[in-house]
Structures are given as C-alpha cells and as structure tokens.
Amino acid sequence: MRRFASVILATLLAVSLVGLVGVGSAGAQGGNERQGVSGTQISVGGLASPPSVLNVPYQDGFAGTKAYFDKVNKAGGLFGKKLKLVAQLSDQGAPSGNIRAVRTLVEEKKVFAVLPIETNSFAGGKYLSDTGIPSFGYDIDAGYCGTQEEVLAIENGSPNRSTPGSFDQCPRQNVFGQSGSYLCFICPSISPAVLAKQIGAKKAAILTYTHPSSTACGDGDEASFKRYGIDIAFEDKTLNFGFPDASADAQAMKDAGVDYVATCMDFGGSYKIAQELKQAGATGVTFYAPEGYRQDTLDKYGSNLNDWIFRIGFTPWQGKNLPKGTKEFLAAMKKAGVKPSEQSQTGWINAALLVAGIKKAGKDFTWSSVNDAINSITDFTADGILPPINWAAGGDGHGPSHEACDAYVAVKNAKFVPEFGKPGQPFVCYPDNPQPANLDTPYYRPLKPGEPDPLAANG
C-alpha cells in the first residue's frame, strides 16, 4: 500500500471525511468536453491550500506542473497546442473554499483539466467527479475515491487485506491521485514490518493520536507486526495532536527495551517523542518516519535525525543511477529556484499523467476520451519516478495495491542516504492483497531486463 503519507496528513488535518461534502453538478449536464482547447492552447487550472499547521508546501504543486508543461511545450506541445496553467487559485484551506475554487475553474476559467489539486480538504471532489472533467492532485483525502459511504464500504470489504479480490474499485474514475486514488485508513501496511526486519529490531513501539484515522493506522501497524512476528513491547494510542509531554511514554519505552518506534503521526509529533526518549537516556532507537522527507527538515534538525528512516513512495532524490523522470524533475526545480518537495513532484507527476492521457486519446481528445485513455494505462511510472501504477479496471490506480513497493531513506551524518534497495532498483517490493506469509523474499523495482515479474508469476 503506497499511500502512507496520505493517512498521516489526512489524520492530522482531520479531513478524511470533510472532503466528502456533496455539491451540485454542472458540467455533466451539457458541458463542453473540449472546453479550454483552442487552435493553439490547452488551458489548465489548479488550486492549493496555504501551508498548513504541518507547514506542508501545497503551493509547490504549481511549480512542478508549470515545469512539466514547459518541458512539453519546448518539444512542440501536444498536437500543435501549448499547455498553459491559466489559473492558480487558493481554497484558503477550507472545504467551502475548495468547492468554490473547483467550480470557478470549471465554470468561469473554462479549463480543460483541473490540476494540480493540493489541498487540506478535497470537498470539491464530488463536483469534479460529476462533471467528468479530468482532475489530478495530491491524494491525502478519501474524496479522491468516492463519497463517505462508498469509501467506508470499500474499506470494510476486507480490513485485514487477506482476501484476494474483496476490494472494490473507487467509483470516481476521472479523479487521479499522484500515486493512485485509493486511500484506506484501516488497511495494515506491510512497510513498518519490512523495516523492522531489515534493521533486526527486537522490540517495537507503536504510538498514534486519538483521531480515528491515526488509531486505525496504528491498528494496521499492530496487525502487521503480529503477522510477521515483530515483538510489540509498548503501545500508546491516546496522544492528542500537539501533546505537551510524553516523558512517561519515553520512560516506559526505555524500560521495555524498545529499539524501534513506528508512529502514525506527523514529523513534529514523532520528533518530540524521539527527543523525550533521548532525555530518558534511551540509545540505539530507530524511528520509522512515514512523513517528513524534505530538505528543510534536514536543514533544521541535522544530526538529531540520525537513526531515522523515512519511507517514501517514489525514487529517492539522493540515489545513484536516477531514472529519467527524477533527473528531469530535479533539474527543472533547480532551474526554477524551487527546493524539491513531494508537493512540487506531485504537480510534475499530475502533469505527466495528463499529457500521457491526451497523447493516448489522440488529436480529437475530449474529457471522456482522456479519462478512458488514462484508465487503460497499466504501467504509469512518470519516467521512473514511481513504481508502476495500473490505472485499468481491477488495477491499483483506483483500487488497492497488488504489491507493496517502497523506497527507504536513512539519515546518516545529517544527510539523506537511500537504504535497502539496489543500484538502479530503489523500490523494495512484496506482493500485497494478499500479503505474503513471510518477508524473506523481497524483489526490487524497476525490474532489470530479463528479470521475471513476480506479480505475473502470481497470476
């Protein structure tokens, strides 16, 4: 399951269900499926929230999108037309503002596609789904998948992810997240157990906030640890966001001999726990960090993050033998004077998927034909940035992952260092849904020429 950071951010922003507010449809009732397309231009518009309490740079998505459009335009555009980001709106971080912004883009700005969408709350998701307009964004909200009832029905299909074929596909087939549109808060993630095995952890701790999505994430970690024989020496699922003190937890973890901590919390909360552990005199504790991989975090905390390992769903920027997509993205951000972030890379990925869909749809492309084209792509990687995403029916674009592929980055001597992957193969992978009986035989992506595909072998 790749969408780990989504759970963390959605939990803390308390928007997992807020983004499912219903609104009326307009474009689906007589809308022009070629709107925003002229003889020379394809008009696109996006929206972002202001930086949140977590200091998430949502606005960076515009830089990534514009950079990818510039790349395509310099190569001649699409069917003789240039891509242009004609609107960069703010939703002010509010559900009502999100609804107004998406309606403005479709009904007033007359855009062909909505991207990037990088927001605290995707309250406008139903409107975009109803219009049918191709929409692309940062999947940290269940609104990318469906209504509250639809998402709960999907999640409750098989909470332990052990029954093949028991999960339905997300019904919003024109809404595309950067690494897939499916978001499951209750599904056990394999990666915390993978990391525990990799580092030889003896005793693990799980900490979460009291928010239901955070505790559900912790329940998933617990199930994963138990499944793979990881000793859980300490748990606390009663912490509140912004908790002032966790010294009692820190002392209890030290007394229990904890050497590995997994949290379903933001970086700030996890860092506070780490500091209190140090004050309690605990040493040699590895922190599993599902959120916070960005240069400004390292710039601020430096060597205090030694023994932290970040799990990411894309090729690490510090790796060797970087793929074409990562090289081009980093070069474009350097040229633009923008520090690379997951949010700017999301804008780049969103733009790449739109372009892939338009090319596949052909010169007479429409909303429907672009959506259909994307939903026939079975191996989208944004030129190697991502593990392959299958957007076709039954795939993991609109549904649960069939494999768990993650990259890991450790902090060593105040630097990010990719870990556990192989040269040119940064992703450590296992089958998922169902998960394997043990973690003894990982495989690595992208596959080298001649390597058999384990998923194909598993049917």
Per-residue pLDDT, 418 = 95
Per-residue pLDDT, 13 = 52
Contact in structure between 66 and 85 (CB atoms under 8 Å): yes
Contact in structure between 261 and 273 (CB atoms under 8 Å): yes
Distant-in-sequence, close-in-space partners of 357: CB < 8 Å, separation ≥ 6:
134, 365, 370, 371, 373, 374, 377
CA dist 95 and 353 (Å) reads 26
3-class DSSP state of 115: strand
Scanning 39-159, the segments in alpha helix (DSSP H) are 60-74, 95-103, 125-131, 148-155
Q: What is the pLDDT along the chain (459 residues), one digit of tens a residue?
A: 444 455 555 555 543 333 333 333 333 444 699 999 999 999 999 999 998 656 788 999 999 999 999 999 999 999 999 999 999 999 998 999 999 999 999 999 999 999 999 998 899 999 999 999 999 999 988 888 888 778 777 766 644 444 444 557 889 999 999 999 988 777 778 999 999 999 999 999 999 999 877 888 898 899 999 999 999 999 999 999 889 899 999 999 999 999 999 998 888 899 999 999 999 999 999 999 877 888 888 899 998 999 899 999 999 999 889 999 999 999 999 999 998 999 999 999 999 999 999 999 999 999 999 999 999 999 999 999 999 999 999 889 998 888 999 999 999 999 999 999 999 999 999 998 888 999 999 999 999 999 998 887 655
Q: pTM higher than 0.85 for the full model?
A: yes
Reference 343, options 21, 18, 49; nearest CA is: 49
Per-residue pLDDT, 458 = 57
- Exposure of 156 by Cβ count < 10 A (0-12 exposed, 13-18 middle, 19+ buried)? exposed
Per-residue pLDDT, 271 = 93
Q: How many alpha carbons lie under 13 Å from residue 146 in its C-beta half-sphere?
A: 18
CA dihedral 338, 341, 347, 352 (to 10 degrees): 100
Per-residue pLDDT, 157 = 62
Which domains are delineated in the chain? 4-186+326-374 (3.40.50.2300)
